[in-house]
């Protein structure tokens, strides 16, 4: 028994979390139930197609809300940077010589040219190619060619325009409005310790890409929030992998959604010591646009897919998708396993989830006035997301 306690104390936080959640799923299965909302929600199709609603969402969620620009370890050293254009506000996110992460508009204070043109890299200083102004890692201008001939009062403008940026829980958050205030504590609302379970600072990115989808961004996000479609839409890709039983917890506007492997059918009949906890998939939603899916199609349970959704218009969004190794890549075989899992995930997301999403887009505007779309109690994740959007948008 003492050995058992000691072994458990050496487990990763992720394994400890799975150990806590598995009995909840088994209990649901034994009672023939799962996490359910109180009733059916009726959604108006305009939720997905109204351009006026979208304009307000873009302002509120993608200009005035903290968004994840990258993981901390994508800025490993002083001078490391990424460019971040997904909100359509061009930004540079850079770790300064002092180790602090900052964000700036990628817009030269001289005449607005794009200053950094690479997606990522490392530099101690960088120059605008138009007239050669040079900047340090804090965004300050440190060189102006032929400065003596450059007339007028320019001191106040000799800095890239700052946007809020802050690093927490292995994530870099930015807010795409210059000189605004970002309140991350209020935004995270106690979700931080849950995100820490993923030990994102140890994760390693293996492969990823941006998918361009013609549909509403919320319709795309909805596909992650219910298991109801698994046995229909994904019957070939995920056949026999998952049970529909799920557990659900909210943290402010964020949530953690836990669904069960098909092995749940055996877990109800066997002692806990025989459960393969690594099979338990977890899904974190960081409002408004990020889904971190852990272990969903990996038998080792240590791959993590991060999906960031960025809308461009009411009917177009980019789905930024990347697969990460939780705790880092352990061997060439591990990398190969992750790469082959990526192909499975990519195929399911693109050819199944987003395919339905895109096909539904024209149909939604054809429905007669007064039509309501039912969101079932078993689609509790959707109900929670929609309710938060309703509340913040006043709809
Ligand atoms: S626009 Fe950048 S130096 Fe002129
Ligand atoms: Fe799906």
Task: Find the range with the poorest average confidence among 142-156, 172-186, 219-233, 369-383.
Answer: 142-156
Longest dimension (CA), the chain: 83
pLDDT score for 147 = 85
Phi, psi for 156 (deg, rounded to 5)? -65, -25
Task: Give the number of whichever ligand sits closest to the CA of residue 114.
Answer: 1
> What is the residue with the minimal CA distance to atom 1 of ligand 1?
111
Quick one: pLDDT at residue 23? 97
Ligand 1 atom nearest 133 alpha carbon = 3
CA of 132 to the centre of ligand 1 (A): 6
Q: Helices in the chain by DSSP H: which ranges? A: 2-9, 13-31, 46-49, 51-62, 184-188, 192-196, 217-222, 230-233, 264-267, 332-348, 354-364, 380-393
Please determine, for residue 199, whether its predicted confidence score (pLDDT) is greater than 70.
yes
Binned at pLDDT 50, 70 and 90, residue 297 comes out as low
Q: How far is the CA of 155 from the centre of ligand 1 (A)?
A: 14
CB 255 within 8 A of CB 381: yes
pLDDT at residue 295 in the model: 81
- Local structure of residue 140 (DSSP, 8 states): B
Average pLDDT across the chain, whole number: 93
- Cα–ligand 2 centroid distance for 327 (angstroms): 26
In this predicted structure, the answer to whether residue 300 has a pLDDT above a threshold of 70 is: no
For ligand 1, pick from 90, 107, 133 the residue to mutate: most ligand atoms within 8 Å of CB: 133
**Ligand 1 atom nearest to 113, measured from its CA:** 1
pLDDT for the residue numbered 272: 95
Judge if the beta carbon of residue 160 lies within 6 A of ligand 1: no
Please tell me if the CB atom of residue 128 comes closer than 6 angstroms to any atom of ligand 1: yes
Tens digits of residue pLDDT in 244-277:
899 999 999 999 999 888 999 999 999 999 999 9
Distance in angstroms (rounded) separating the CA atoms of residues 296 and 224: 11
**Alpha carbons 268 and 287: distance in angstroms, whole number:** 33
User: What does pTM read for this prediction?
Assistant: 0.94
Q: How far is residue 333's CA from residue 302's CA, in Å, rounded to a whole number?
A: 13
For residues 104 and 381, give the distance between their C-alpha atoms in angstroms, rounded to a whole number. 34
Q: Is residue 110 lining ligand 1, measured as CB closer than 6 Å?
A: yes
Over residues 168-181, mean pLDDT: 97
Distance (Å, rounded) from C-alpha 328 to C-alpha 200?
10
Distance, in Å, from the CA atom of 166 to the CA atom of 91, rounded to the nearest integer, reads 14
Question: How many Å lie between the centroid of ligand 2 and the Cα of residue 331?
Answer: 29
Q: Which ligand places an atom closest to the C-alpha of 111?
A: 1
Kindly give, in sequence order, each residue whose CB lies less than 8 Å from that of residue 236, ignoring residues fewer than 6 positions away.
none
- Residue 10 banded pLDDT, cuts 50, 70, 90: confident
Query: In testing the pocket of ligand 1, which one of 115, 131, 143 has its CB within 8 Å of the most ligand atoms?
Result: 131
Which residues is 246 bridged to in the sheet?
259
Q: What is the mean pLDDT of residues 96-122?
A: 97
Q: Whose CA is nearest to atom 3 of ligand 1?
A: 131
- 108 C-beta closer than 6 A to ligand 1: yes
Residue 3 has pLDDT above 60, yes or no: no
Grouping H, G, I as helix, E, B as strand and the rest as coil, residue 377 is: coil
* Confidence (pLDDT) at 148: 82
Q: Measured in angstroms, how far is the CA atom of residue 219 from the centroid of ligand 2?
A: 12
Place of tokens 């200083």: 125
Mean pLDDT is lowest, of 79-83, 139-143, 238-242, 250-254, for 238-242
Of residues 68 and 342, more confidence is placed in 68
Task: Write down the pLDDT at residue 6.
Answer: 61
Q: Is the CB of 130 under 6 A from ligand 1?
A: yes
More confident residue, 303 or 310: 310
The reply to whether omega before 288 is within 30° of 0 (cis) is yes
């Amino acid at each position: 028994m003492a050995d058992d306690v000691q072994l458990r104390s050496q487990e990763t936080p992720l394994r400890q979390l799975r150990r806590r959640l598995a009995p909840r799923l088994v209990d649901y299965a034994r009672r023939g139930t799962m996490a359910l909302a109180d009733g059916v929600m009726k959604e108006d199709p305009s939720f997905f197609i109204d351009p006026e609603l979208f304009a307000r969402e873009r302002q509120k969620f993608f200009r005035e809300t903290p968004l994840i620009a990258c993981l901390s370890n994508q800025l490993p050293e002083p001078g490391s940077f990424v460019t971040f254009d997904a909100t359509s506000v061009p930004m540079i996110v850079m770790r300064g010589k002092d180790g602090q992460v900052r964000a700036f508009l990628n817009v030269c204070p001289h005449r607005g040219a794009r200053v950094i043109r690479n997606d990522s890299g490392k530099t101690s200083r960088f120059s605008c190619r138009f007239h050669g102004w040079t900047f340090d890692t804090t965004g300050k201008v440190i060189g102006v060619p032929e400065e003596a001939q450059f007339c007028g009062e320019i001191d106040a403008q000799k800095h890239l325009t700052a946007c809020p940026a802050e690093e927490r829980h292995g994530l870099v958050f930015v807010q795409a409005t210059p000189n605004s205030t970002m309140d991350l504590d209020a935004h995270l609302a106690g979700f931080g310790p849950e995100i820490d379970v993923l030990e994102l600072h140890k994760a390693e990115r293996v492969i990823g890409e941006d998918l361009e989808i013609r549909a509403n961004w919320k319709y795309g996000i909805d596909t992650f929030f219910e298991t109801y479609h698994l046995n229909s839409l994904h019957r070939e890709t995920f056949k026999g992998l998952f049970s529909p039983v799920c557990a659900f917890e909210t943290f402010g506007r964020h949530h953690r959604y836990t669904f069960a492997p098909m092995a749940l059918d055996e877990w109800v009949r066997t002692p806990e010591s025989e459960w393969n906890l690594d099979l338990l998939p977890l899904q974190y939603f960081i409002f408004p646009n990020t889904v971190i899916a852990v272990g969903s199609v990996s038998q080792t349970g240590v791959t993590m897919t991060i999906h960031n959704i960025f809308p461009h218009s009411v009917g177009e969004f980019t789905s930024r998708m990347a697969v990460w190794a939780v705790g880092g890549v352990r061997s060439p075989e591990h990398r190969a396993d992750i790469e082959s899992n990526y192909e499975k995930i990519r195929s399911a997301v693109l050819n199944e989830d987003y395919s339905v999403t895109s096909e539904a887009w024209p149909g939604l505007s054809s429905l007669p006035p007064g039509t309501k779309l039912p969101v079932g109690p078993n689609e509790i994740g959707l109900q929670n997301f929609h309710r938060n959007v309703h509340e913040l948008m006043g709809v």
